[in-house]
Amino acid sequence: MIGFIIFLVVAIIVLSIIRNQLQNNLQFKNNLQIEKILGILRIVAGVGILLVVLFASVVQIGPGEVGVQILFGNIQEGILRSGLNFVNPLMEVQKLDIKTQSYTMSGANDQDVRDDQTIKSDPIQTLSSDGLTLLLDVTVWFRVSADDAPNLLRTIGSDYEAKIVRPAIRTAIRDIAVNFVATDIYSSKRDDYVNDVAKKLEKSFEGRGIILEKVLLRNVELPQKVREAIDEKIAAEQRAQQMVYVLQKERQEAERKTVEASGVAEAQKIINSTISNSYLQWKYIETLKELVNSPNNSFVIAPYDQKLTPLLNFNQK
């Protein structure tokens, strides 16, 4: 933009010099047509300068962005917010994104990385405290501090992701991993590992105009032998839990049968102690009455002795 303004100014000066030379030249003194053309060109150049200055004085900053003003290579402290801003036409404005950004380190076989082209595929391998090699899939959410944007551009530049973010993430992941056992990162102390990585990243980003939002540990890939051992351990624990359930069920069934047998024995004991010959004779006669009054023409009479006691063998199986 500045170069274009300079070009128009130089064009006006050149046209003015040519016009003066033509006026001093006797051969062209009466050539009003050439002078008129030169005058029109000077006016057009002047209007062009005014338009360029007007447009250069208005800068539009998009949503989620800030503008950093640069005057002849010197970065100014003030920033431009979203919307229309009036600035010095000689100012150069560098726009920076202050929205949440993500940097993902993931294996090439990760479906999320293949589906989202904006996410970087940058897998990282690290060693745990027990010497095992882990392949981690990590996503880090971060953003640029709007107020610190001029200092960020002055000290780091617009390629802060390659200079600061990526090296800091890889260093934090590896430095913290050596304090944990592989199986702890995989399961029980996963949150502790993520929190320690986040704390180290916050210290790395401090004072650089970069704000850490969150660290996501998306996947932990253990060595094949370790995964097989873990799967076998889980299967053994499940089998043990199943056996405990089966034993508990059998114990409850045995207790149920014991209670049932005790109840039957107690009932038989009560019946044997209360039944008498008189009761059996009375019951026998009552049953015969019911059979006589029954619409059924045929009935069976059980054998009995002289005292009308039914001859029944309760011990026969």
Distances (CA, A) of 265 to 163, 178, 258, 275: 88, 69, 11, 16
Strand partners, 70: 75, 92
pLDDT in tens, 232-276: 776 677 778 788 888 888 888 888 888 888 877 777 777 777 666
- In this model, does residue 39 exceed pLDDT 60? yes
Mean pLDDT of 42-54: 69
pLDDT in tens, 6-34: 655 666 666 566 666 555 554 544 555 66
Query: pTM of the predicted model, to two decimals?
Result: 0.58
The yes or no reply on domain 101-222 and CATH 3.40.50.150 is: no
Mean pLDDT of the chain: 76
pLDDT in tens, 125-178: 888 888 888 888 899 999 999 999 999 998 998 889 989 999 999 999 999 999
**Domain map (residue ranges) of the chain:** 2-56, 62-97, 101-222, 229-292
pLDDT in tens, 168-188: 999 999 999 999 988 888 888
Closest CA to 218 of 177, 196, 190: 190
For residue 242, which phi and psi values (nearest 5 degrees)? -65, -40
Residues 193 and 175 sit within 8 Å (Cβ to Cβ):
no
- The DSSP code for 44 is H
Mean pLDDT of 106-123: 55
